[in-house]
Amino acid sequence: MKKRMLLIVNPISGVGRQKKIERLLKDNLNQDLYDYEVRYTERIHHGTDLARQGADEGFDIVVAVGGDGSINDVIKGIHGTDTTLGIIPCGSGNGLARCMKIPLTPALAIRVLNQYNEGLIDTITLNDKYYIASIAGVGFDAYIARLMQAAKLRGFSAYLNLILREYPSYKEKDYNLVIDGKEIRRKAWFTTFANSNQFGYNAAIAPQAKLDDGLIDVSIVDKIPIEHVPITGPLVYANHFELSQHVEMFKAHEIWVTGNVDKWVNIDGEGENVGEELHFVNYKQSLKILKRDMKRPLRQRNPGEAFQLMQDQLQMVHDQLIPKKK
């Protein structure tokens, strides 16, 4: 019996790779395995309503076609149901997809869905209202996430330009944290609460984080002097940020935070005005998701298709570095 799949597409996500999705589904999705339907979001957080509706209608799988924010919206809609999450990454950072080794080329991500390799990952709740699949943060990263929401450009270059512009003026803040009952006070440039290992763009801020271990990886980062950036930056991209003298890391099941004077939190790449007091809890293996089976290759069907995939990948790199104006 075929599985019923609903694909929820954010038409303005990331740098535009989702625009060819219906053709790519026709060419790549195993239609002997799936009956599918595509629905498009029309407003902010509309994906949550569509996902909840899909779960109520009995869809077995709801696929988020977009970035980490789009995935987060879908998770909110299906959380607590028996519906499985699928991912076709079409955002800018794509932190959760990168952590799960899901290809950023949509045609290949669709073939991950064809593997139907179902598994479980953790989710983190914030103040019993917000769900986090990848990463949350306070301080500078929340400030940048908030600015990115209002930015006219997307992609890595836009993200990097904001960081460089705002870095000199953003000051460290004082935070009180209770980490599994142990109270600590720290002055931090930013602090992250991670389920996956990265922000996106392969920036591994929590290199030891695992998606299914029942723990939140906390990284408390002080402001990195400009002369230390050439050393610290490569550690982030080499998956060894724990070696930096500017970070302190913990693992915990439950965390309380006070002193979030900005009130903003980066939740899976999107800025949310949450408040000064925060309560994070990990719910172990609480979300069904289609994972990539790394033992099974994602084969191309013919030389012409391989050439098209290569073109798509080159276009993806181009769009990341030189995003188009909207």
pLDDT digits (tens, 9 = 90+) for 36-92: 999 999 999 999 999 999 999 999 999 999 999 999 999 999 999 999 999 999 988
Same domain, 104 and 209: no
- Within a domain: residue 172? yes
Give per-residue burial for 260-291: e unless 16+ CB within 10 Å, then b. Answer: bebebbbbbbbbbebeeebebbbeeebbbbbb
Number of domains into which the chain is organized:
2
pLDDT digits (tens, 9 = 90+) for 106-164: 999 999 999 999 999 999 999 999 999 999 999 999 999 999 887 777 778 888 899 99
319 compared with 35, residue with greater pLDDT: 35
Same domain, 107 and 238: no
Q: What pLDDT score does 89 carry?
A: 95
Same domain, 82 and 16: yes
Q: What pLDDT score does 130 carry?
A: 97
296: domain CATH number is 3.40.50.10330
Return the axis-axis angle of helices 106-115 and 303-321, rounded to nearest 10°: 120
Which tokens is 16 given? Answer: 């535009």
Same domain, 279 and 144: yes
Cα separation of 193 and 195, whole Å? 7
Q: What pLDDT score does 326 carry?
A: 45
- Among 51-55, 200-204, 212-216, name the one with the lowest average pLDDT: 200-204
Residue positions counted in the chain: 326
Q: What pLDDT score does 314 carry?
A: 59
- Within a domain: residue 326? no
Same domain, 202 and 234: yes
Same domain, 146 and 209: yes
Cα separation of 297 and 5, whole Å? 23
User: Quick one: pLDDT band at residue 170, thresholds 50, 70, 90?
Assistant: very high
- Within a domain: residue 111? yes
pTM exceeds cut of 0.85: yes
Same domain, 161 and 304: no
180: domain CATH number is 2.60.200.40
Which domain range does residue 107 map to?
3-124+287-321
H helix or E strand, kind and range, residue 232: helix 229-237
Same domain, 144 and 40: no
Same domain, 279 and 293: no
- Within a domain: residue 202? yes
pLDDT digits (tens, 9 = 90+) for 262-315: 999 999 999 999 999 999 999 999 999 999 999 998 865 544 555 555 556 555
User: Quick one: pLDDT band at residue 201, thresholds 50, 70, 90?
Assistant: confident
Q: Specify whether the CB–CB gap between 238 and 231 falls below 8 A.
A: no
In the three-class reduction of DSSP (H, G, I as helix; E, B as strand; rest coil), residue 197 is classed as: coil
Same domain, 279 and 291: no
Same domain, 142 and 270: yes
Mean pLDDT value of segment 1-16: 83
- Within a domain: residue 168? yes
Which tokens is 301 given? Answer: 């069907």
Cα separation of 1 and 57, whole Å? 17
pLDDT digits (tens, 9 = 90+) for 217-226: 999 999 999 9
Same domain, 156 and 69: no
Q: What beta strand segments (E) does 67-198 contain?
A: 84-89, 117-126, 130-132, 135-139, 173-179, 182-188, 190-194
Residue type, 18: Q
Mean pLDDT value of segment 3-31: 84
CA dihedral of residues 198, 202, 208, 210 (deg, nearest 10)? 60
